[in-house]
Chains A and B, each alone.
Chain A
Amino acid sequence: MNNKLFVSSTPHITSTVSTMYMMIVMALALVPTSVFAVVNFGIRVVYLILIGVGTSYALEKVLNLLKDKNGQWLDFSSVVTGLMVTLVMPVSVPLWMPALGSAIAIFVFKFCFGGLSKNVFNPTAAARVILSVMFSGLNLSLFTGTAIGENVASPLHYFAMGDYATINLRSMFFGSVPGAMGTVAIITILACGIILMFLKITDFVVPVGAVVTFVASVWIFKGAVGIIPYLFAGSFLFACVFMITDPVTSPNTVWGRLVYGLLFGIFAGLFMTKNVMGETGVFVAVLIVNLIAPLLDKIFMPRPLGLKEVK
């Protein structure tokens, strides 16, 4: 062997799943729901997405160049964040809104916390909550429209008043109802969620736990008739599939994740049925469980097998 030999410490192989791969699959999983949004709400969605993703990507790159980290910005996480921030807004928002949302998510909730993986809150949920508090006049939370200046009540508004007849569940399933752009097409969200779990990008423990307690709490507060409408309304499934499964902000252990999911279901159910902050309630629930995650990590700390007791 006249050529050179590499030397490394064990193990000499690693799995094919890398951070970049996970983020690219995550971004691809958001594509179908974006396509449905374009079909339902028109070409304006494309502009909003381009603005959101562009801002997020550019800002992340600039910030990391300032921080002098080589190559780290190229992991597609900023694309996912920008896309998600745009998709949780209604189509009627002004064009600068996705840019501002992305900027808040990337700068305040990611960079200021110390960059990738150091953030306590899910940047998307945090940016969405901040925006709806800052611009309550734009009706981000309860009323959403299909065009600028047009305010149509979202399904959650009718459900809050006990009216389950006005909104057709079939049209909710295919996303032709008012609401945040990416979160209304339930069929794509469910399909992408299943694919993500199948590819082991996200695990199934968190979403399943969340859905179980969500259904239970809706049942308690609104009765059995409200379960399906509430499940399909107001970004709950979107948050289940794309937000609380975010590896950075969720606990490490399986039991911790289960409790995390269960808690999210309870909070989301409570906020949505009691109409706390309208559609934003789900994202508030995300932030609350994000805060609980470190505690869950501590409680469900695994005990090493065969460890002698420390005196």
Chain B
Amino acid sequence: MEIRGIRLKKHKISKLAKGFFVLRKSENYVVPLSVGVSEQSERVVSVGDKVNEGTLLAKPKGKYGNFVYSPCCGSVVGIVRKLNINGIICDHVIIKQENREDKSYLPTMDASEFSAEKLLKRLYESGMVDNFPPYEVTYKKYLLNSSIKQLIINCTETDPYEYATSAIVQTYTSEMFEGALLFKTLCNAENIIFVFTNKQAKTIKLFKEYLKKRGLKNKVKIKIYPHIYPLSYSRLLAYYQTGKMVKENSRTAEIKVIVEGAINCYDFFHAVYNGKPAIERAVTISGNNCLRKANYFVKNGTPINHIMEVVGFNSNSYENMLIFGGIMTGVAQETPSASITLAANSLLLCDSSEFGLEKESECINCGKCVQHCPVRIHVKNVDDAFTERDFMQAKKLGVSTCLNCGVCSFVCPAKRKLAQKVQYMKNFTENRRAKNPDSSDYLLVEGEDTTMQQDFDTILDVKGGYENVKETNEQSAALEVIESLKEKKPDSIISEGGDKNE
């Protein structure tokens, strides 16, 4: 099996990174009701309510959404509708933190009552979200019809800055391992396998020592892969383990494999034994502008402003980028007033030496994008199809299988925005299919040429980003509040000082 991808230099964070830090409590928490990239949930609290740590804020609406819990004790002071950190418009509940220690967690579970149904119910109620692409709500992976042969615990880390998974495996080995066993019980998997990369020597050593102590040295399988980005994608791991690739738009359960992240195992352990719902996430905070690079437990809804205040940042730097998620797949933030969601495990405060904003030049047909694409899309031809607006061709070339890992854009010597174009073609074809589910030639719908043209301009100029410098801080924060006022519903208010951005 050929492992395609790129070797990224592993970025070292400071020696502090051995363990975890807990962030000082913020004054306000702005909790997005759409955790990660899922649809918005249905709010169950209103302004003026007192909440404890772990109080339910929102519950799923039908098939969509997720359970959202309060990250702190306090009172709900406002509800604001704005973009969340992953780029989805949703309601945010603003909670003013109070110095109480009340906890209203879920009931704890006894070891005697562990059964697949009960654990699945707990996973559903805990509101956990995957911390690796495609950031979906975790319990959806376990809604299966077939039996599971292999449960892969993904302990790999191939993004250069991310360190949280390794730190979880090193620091909380037993919790992680027990959580993994709970997942095994949950899906009735025949065997369980822990996957690492060969750059995680210390992590593997500590994990093996733990297994030796437990007397499980030869009973637990460990697989070590070369350190190649984007290995940690669940579809690719399933492919490398089984030799079968999941078909587009379906989950790995189809080929009797489930991939679970190590951080999720840790969280699930606490959800089961302590009843603690998903209210915080292990996050690596790093980048050259960050003064105290380390792993932190960050609560859902913590404003980035607060994080920057706590970890310290280099305010003398003039060209900065704020990225939520890894440097290869993360979302660049326009403003530091956004707040953390559960859907990724790093926050980067980068200076200009760390990101590249080169201009596009002519393709020289070197074929690097084709040779490095992990799912073997002929990216060069997709680029041509994009130029000719040929969606049928793009669909035939398999844009719908794209993982959005960004390898093609990374390797391109002409600095062409390949990943963006492939992703655009993918989204376009999928939106068309969703609009015309019955038609077989849904790509041939006419009459939308002008909007298409605008979209192309958007992807090439605005999203390209090299001249797209945004005003930040107070100005944009004020703009945001004004924007949210426009969409104000009768019952929602913006409280004074609620969405404070300092």
Residues of chain A whose beta carbon lies under 8 Å from any beta carbon of chain B? 1-15, 17-19, 21-22, 71-72, 75, 115-117, 247-254, 257, 301-308, 310-311
Contacts and interface: CB of A to CB of B under 8 A. Distances in A.
Q: How large is the interface on B (under 10, 10 to 19, 20 to 34, 35 or more residues)?
A: 35 or more
A12 B400 contact: no
Nearest to B409: A11
A117 B318 contact: no
B181 interface: no
B428 interface: no
B336 A1 contact: yes
Contacts, number: 195
Given A8-B357, A14-B409, A304 B364 contact: no
Contacts of A72: 361-362
B303 to A, nearest CB: 13
A310 B395 contact: yes
Given A3-B320, A6-B320, A247-B365, A12 B356 contact: yes
B414 A19 contact: yes
Given A75-B361, A305-B245, A306-B245, A8 B466 contact: yes
A5 B472 contact: yes
8 contacts: A4-B320, A5-B333, A6-B469, A19-B362, A115-B362, A304-B398, A306-B245, A306-B247
B471 interface: yes
Interface SS majority for chain A: loop
Contacts of B396: 310
A247 B368 CA distance: 10
3 nearest interchain CB pairs?
A304-B398, A8-B465, A252-B367
B204 to A, nearest CB: 27
A1 B374 CA distance: 37
A21 B366 CA distance: 14
A13 B407 CA distance: 10
Nearest to B305: A1
A306 B248 contact: yes
A1 B313 contact: yes
B440 A311 contact: yes
B318 A4 contact: yes
B236 to A, nearest CB: 9
A219 B248 CA distance: 50
A6 B335 contact: no
A71 B358 CA distance: 13
B358 to A, nearest CB: 6
Interface in B287-334: 289, 308, 313, 315, 317-323, 327-334
B485 interface: no
A17 B6 CA distance: 13
Q: Which of A8, A17, A251 has the most CB of B within 10 A?
A: A8
Interface in B87-131: none
A21 B414 CA distance: 10
Given A12-B332, A305-B376, A7 B470 contact: yes
B355 A19 contact: no
Contacts of A22: 364, 366, 413
A115 B401 CA distance: 33
Interface of B: 6, 235, 239, 245-248, 289, 308, 313, 315, 317-323, 327-336, 350, 352, 354-359, 361-367, 370-371, 373-378, 380, 395-398, 400-401, 404, 406, 409-415, 417, 419-420, 440, 463-466, 468-473
A3 B318 contact: yes
A4 B419 contact: no
Given A117-B365, A247-B365, A305-B376, A1 B473 contact: yes
B92 to A, nearest CB: 20
Nearest to B248: A306
B404 A10 contact: yes
Contact of B330 (A10, A15, A18, A250): A10
Interface centre among A11, A15, A71, A311 (most CB of B within 10 A): A11
A9 B420 contact: yes
B376 A303 contact: yes
A118 B179 CA distance: 56
Nearest to A256: B367
Given A7-B332, A8-B321, 15 more contacts: A4-B318, A5-B321, A6-B321, A6-B469, A10-B331, A11-B406, A12-B330, A72-B361, A250-B367, A253-B370, A304-B401, A307-B247, A307-B248, A310-B396, A311-B440
Nearest to A249: B365
Contact of B471 (A4, A11, A71): A4
A197 to B, nearest CB: 14
Contacts of B378: 252, 301-302
Contacts of B414: 18-19
A71 B396 CA distance: 35
A2 B320 CA distance: 10
B35 to A, nearest CB: 20
B292 to A, nearest CB: 16
B370 A17 contact: no
B125 to A, nearest CB: 32
B24 to A, nearest CB: 19
B408 to A, nearest CB: 9
Contact of B329 (A10, A247, A248): A10
B409 A117 contact: no
